[in-house]
Amino acid sequence: MAALGGGPVTLVWENEVGGLTGRVGGDEPRFIKWNPLGSGESLADEAERLRWLGGRHPAPIVLDYAASDDAELLVTRALPGRSAVDAFWQARPSDAVQAIARGLRALHALPTGDCPFEWDVATRILTAADSDAVADLPDPPPIDRLVVCHGDSCAPNTLLDETGFVANVDFGRLGLADRWADLAVATMSLGWNYENYDEALFWAEYGVEPDAARIDYYRRLWNAA
Domains 2-77 and 82-224 belong to one CATH topology: no
C-beta of residue 182 within 8 angstroms of C-beta of residue 158: no
Res 38: pLDDT = 73
Q: Give the number of residues written for the chain.
A: 225
DSSP 8-state symbol, 109: T
Res 2: pLDDT = 47
Res 134: pLDDT = 85
Among 3.40.50.920, 3.30.200.20, 3.30.1120.80, 2.30.110.10, what is the CATH number of 2-77? 3.30.200.20
C-beta of residue 190 within 8 angstroms of C-beta of residue 197: yes
pLDDT means over runs of 10, the chain (225 residues): 63 78 88 85 94 98 95 95 95 97 98 97 84 86 98 97 95 97 98 95 98 97 90
Which residues are part of the catalytic machinery? 152
- 140, 107, 45, 122: CA torsion to nearest 10: 10
Res 103: pLDDT = 98
CA–CA gap between residue 20 and residue 34 (Å, rounded): 5
82-224 topology per CATH = Aminoglycoside 3'-phosphotransferase; Chain: A, domain 2 (3.90.1200)
Concatenating the DSSP letter of every residue in 116-171 gives: --B--HHHHHHT-S-HHHHHT--PPPPPS-EEEE-S---GGGEEEETTEEEEE---
How far from 124 is each of 16, 129, 137, 212, 218, CA to CA, in Å? 19, 10, 12, 21, 11
Q: Estimate the share of the chain in helix, then strand, then coil, as percent rounded to the nearest 5.
A: 35, 25, 40
pTM: 0.92
Res 4: pLDDT = 55
By C-alpha distance, which of 156, 157, 194 is closest to 58? 157
Domain ranges of the chain: 2-77, 82-224
